[in-house]
């Protein structure tokens, strides 16, 4: 079974450009998470979807960030306009959650974003 797939693996862009990161969760998983990892701030949860619905977006830094999950097999994280301080590794993770049972999160390989 394929794991969580993220694309692109690396993205280099200039300040002010729009950036779109993509994620395909594991088939059958109904929860999806976007994280950002930096040396300074560690691992931060940006947004959490359950059954394609955003449940908690309190971690989204500002209006420049937006995330969508149009169906169970695809999600995007968009930054518009991008800024150098957005440079980080962005991870997507998915899990299968049934009722109140907590399950393991499976992480993708990440997208390393560099904004010049």
Question: Footprint of another protein on this chain (CB under 8 A)?
Answer: 4, 31, 33, 42-43, 45, 48, 50, 55-56, 91, 93, 95, 97, 100-102, 104-110
Please report how close the Cβ of residue 101 comes to another protein at its closest, in angstroms: 7
Q: Which is nearer to another protein, 63 or 104 (CB)?
A: 104
Q: Which is nearer to another protein, 4 or 60 (CB)?
A: 4
Please report how close the Cβ of residue 91 comes to another protein at its closest, in angstroms: 5
CB atoms within 10 A of CB 86: 20
Q: Is the Cβ–Cβ distance between 65 and 51 less than 8 Å?
A: no
Q: Which is nearer to another protein, 110 or 113 (CB)?
A: 110
Q: Is the Cβ–Cβ distance between 64 and 80 less than 8 Å?
A: yes
Gap between the Cα atoms of 25 and 107, Å rounded? 9
CB atoms within 10 A of CB 65: 20
């Amino acid at each position: 079974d394929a794991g969580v797939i993220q694309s692109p693996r690396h993205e280099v862009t200039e300040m002010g450009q729009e950036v779109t990161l993509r994620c395909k969760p594991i088939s059958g998983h109904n929860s999806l998470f976007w994280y950002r990892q930096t040396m300074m701030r560690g691992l931060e949860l940006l947004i959490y979807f359950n059954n394609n619905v955003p449940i908690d977006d309190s971690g989204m830094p500002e209006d420049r960030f937006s995330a969508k999950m149009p169906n169970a097999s695809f999600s995007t994280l968009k930054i518009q306009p991008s800024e150098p301080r957005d440079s980080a590794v962005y991870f997507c993770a998915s899990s299968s959650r049934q009722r109140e049972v907590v399950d393991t999160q499976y992480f993708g390989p990440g997208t390393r974003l560099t904004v010049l």
